[in-house]
Structure 1
Amino acid sequence: MILPDGYSDVPAGKIAAVVTHLEMTVRPARRGDPPGAWSLRKVEPPALDWYRDLYRRVGEEWLWFTRVGIDDADLAGRIHAPGVELYGLVVDGHDEGLLELDFSVPGECQLLYFGVTAKFIGTGAARFLMNRALEIAWSRDVSRVWVHTCTFDHPSAVAFYQRSCFRPFRRQIEIANDPRLDGTMPRTAARHVPIVEW
């Protein structure tokens, strides 16, 4: 369905975001790492409590809601699925960044989740994490690496991915229940996205 130009209604209790899908089909030149005492560790198998905590600390500010409120069996099925790999960005012995890669489609790697905690935004930690993500992805037999982001994410997210050699190939409108209205997420999450009640 193609939305007409102009305004489209968003139902009460819903949120709407513009989603940008980006891809690369050629391995990019390696970019240098920024200075910083970071390292990457593969988490295998990822514990559910570890995942929930890091997902919340990285994503709550950007209204990451798809993995919030799901039961243990559903979450385990997703993060323990064949082809899914989880990594933590380690700073001073603590995980401060999340990298979730999905190799389940032959020849492809999707960056399912990618981000660092708020205190490390703008420090170079995300650049370090992206460098590792691309090294891992392109070390496999893939011809495409892709990711999507939306207007709830950091305002520089699309530009960051483009500087990382991703190219946009699709845009969509995503409409979903506002997870802050039913208590799935705290009302303080994603302060840049207004809560609309009527």
Structure 2
Amino acid sequence: MAPKKILMLVGDFVEDYEVMVPYQVLLTVGHHVDVVCPDKKAKETVATAIHDFEQEQTYTEKRGHNFTLTATFSSVKAKDYDALVIPGGRAPEYIRLDKRVRDLVREFDNNKKPIASICHGLQVLAAAGVVTGRKITAYKTLGPDLQLAGANYVEVEPTEVVVDGNLVTSPAWPGHPKWLAEFLKLLGTTINP
């Protein structure tokens, strides 16, 4: 298996587990991962948010770690990467407003490159217009928005994954094992037991 070059799109208050775990797993299996944030440069940081379920009607949010970016957003081009990862958290609700982000996502999708998105990361895919007619999942509060964007939204357990062509989606970080396994399959990554 040849190592793949993967781009990860983040912003301040990206969900902590949803950036840290995929980044570390993808590096562990030998892939190269560039993590970028619009209007930030390599070696700058983004703040992460920790989302948890503590018996309220929705998740709680706490300040997480600082995550150091590995590349500069303005210098990345989709043609230089094999795949894209879009974590959730608060970041997707505002990075999706950036035309450069939407254009980048569309370019990955137009070229049928694997795209893994989790939780609120689907807000970026919807804003880029790549969910229409696609079977996807996300954090359940996004269901109505994704349906309005033309997606075939499926509500599944937080530990599950939905794959439609080049799109791999999951509702939240408890889905990491299945979400990452399916993404690795699309990348052609094999792991010997």
Greater Rg over alpha carbons, structure = 1
Settle same-fold status: TM greater than 0.5. Answer: no
Of Structure 1 and Structure 2, the greater strand share is in 1
TM-score by length of 1: 0.31
Q: TM-score, normalised by structure 2?
A: 0.31
